């Protein structure tokens, strides 16, 4: 009886151990923190929310990783930013959260924005749509903002938020930062991924892996600039 029970729980325990291991391993490589308010002044929320923050539930997750700038060779900041976004968004497009979004989008053209070859061809200029619901709303040399902006053929729940991806030089280091900001009006809509402890944990794990693998891939491709 106990033996059977043990056998039944083994796969679950196994994956919990595996995820915990991944989490611990990654926390040394990529810092990640989520707060129920914007963590830094560089994040500008839409004015309707900025003016009445007490009416909204706001979560801001910030994941960051620093490496010596010298290891980036001759890459410029805009190139680094574009390549990082290509890697991380192409990887994201193949993960379960992206399948969920894909399923809720019916239009073939919108579904095409999940395609790896399409994502890898993007410059991430204003107006570029990626993984169905993310649209580049602004871009400068070291920062790209993607608004959550579902296309007409999307039939899922309304989720509001934005992603901000930055590449910053600080002293002799270059820091990669991924901000995920989500909000909803109190009493309206459904709780988002960052509102529960479990959701924050899973999301943090996913984003840490994305940042870590994106930066590793970038370093591995050094010197081979064909992609741009
Ligand atoms: C940032 O996180 C989002 C998930 O919120 C992910 O889709 C995206 O690929 C990540 N980007 C980078 C550059 O890590």
Tell me, yes or no, whether 19 lies in a domain: no
| Angle formed at CA 170 by CA 166 and CA 174, multiple of 5 degrees | 55
The mean pLDDT of the chain is 90
Nearest to 38 by CA among 203, 199, 200, 183: 183
- Phi, psi angle pair for 26, to nearest 5°: -75, -25
Distance between Cα 88 and ligand 1 center (Å): 6
How do residues 2-23 score in pLDDT, each as one tens digit?
566 656 666 666 677 777 777 7
The whole-number pLDDT of residue 8 equals 61
Over range 211-219, report the average pLDDT.
94
The whole-number pLDDT of residue 54 equals 93
Domain with residue 151: its CATH number is 3.30.530
Tell me, yes or no, whether 84 lies in a domain: yes
Tell me, yes or no, whether 194 lies in a domain: yes
Distance CA 149, CA 135 (A): 6
How do residues 155-177 score in pLDDT, each as one tens digit?
988 889 999 999 999 999 999 99
Pocket flag, ligand 1, residue 167 (CB < 6 Å): no
The whole-number pLDDT of residue 18 equals 74
How do residues 107-146 score in pLDDT, each as one tens digit?
999 999 999 999 999 999 999 999 999 999 999 999 999 9
User: Measuring from atom 13 of ligand 1, which residue has the nearest CA?
Assistant: 85
Tell me, yes or no, whether 1 lies in a domain: no
Pocket flag, ligand 1, residue 165 (CB < 6 Å): yes
Q: Of the residues 144, 174, 210, 217, which should be mutated to test ligand 1's pocket, given the most ligand atoms within 8 Å of the CB? A: 210
- For residue 88, which atom of ligand 1 is closest to its CA? 9
Pocket flag, ligand 1, residue 214 (CB < 6 Å): yes
How do residues 81-110 score in pLDDT, each as one tens digit?
999 999 999 999 999 889 999 999 999 999
Whether the CB-CB separation of 33 and 39 falls below 8 Å is answered with: yes
User: Measuring from atom 11 of ligand 1, which residue has the nearest CA?
Assistant: 88
Q: What range does the domain containing 145 cover?
A: 37-227
pLDDT at 49 over 50: yes
Q: Which residues of 49-66 are buried (b: 16+ CB within 10 A; e: fewer)?
A: beeeeeebbbbbbbbbbb
The whole-number pLDDT of residue 162 equals 96
Tell me, yes or no, whether 207 lies in a domain: yes
Q: Of the residues 146, 204, 207, which should be mutated to test ligand 1's pocket, given the most ligand atoms within 8 Å of the CB? A: 207
Tell me, yes or no, whether 4 lies in a domain: no
Q: How many domains does one find in the chain?
A: 1
Binned at pLDDT 50, 70 and 90, residue 178 comes out as very high
């Amino acid at each position: 009886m106990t033996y059977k029970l043990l056998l039944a729980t083994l796969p679950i325990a196994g994956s919990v151990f595996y995820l915990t291991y991944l989490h611990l391993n990654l926390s040394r490589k990529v810092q990640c923190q989520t707060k129920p308010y914007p963590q830094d002044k560089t994040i500008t929320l839409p004015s309707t929310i900025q003016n009445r923050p007490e009416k909204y539930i706001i979560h801001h997750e910030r994941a960051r990783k620093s490496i010596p700038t010298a290891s980036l060779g001759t890459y410029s900041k805009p190139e680094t930013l574009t390549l990082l976004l290509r890697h991380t968004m192409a990887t994201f497009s193949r993960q379960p959260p992206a399948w969920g979004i894909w399923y809720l989008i019916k239009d073939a053209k919108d579904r095409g924005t999940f395609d790896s070859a399409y994502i890898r061809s993007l410059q991430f200029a204003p107006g570029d749509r990626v993984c169905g619901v993310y649209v580049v709303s602004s871009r400068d040399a070291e920062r790209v903002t993607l608004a959550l902006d579902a296309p007409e053929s999307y039939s899922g729940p309304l989720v509001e938020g934005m992603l901000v991806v930055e590449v910053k030089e600080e002293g002799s280091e270059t820091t990669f930062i991924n901000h995920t900001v989500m909000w909803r009006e109190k009493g309206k809509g459904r709780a988002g991924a960052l509102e529960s402890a479990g959701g924050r944990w899973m999301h943090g794990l996913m984003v840490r892996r994305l940042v870590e693998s994106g930066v590793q891939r970038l370093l591995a491709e050094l010197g081979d600039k064909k992609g741009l």
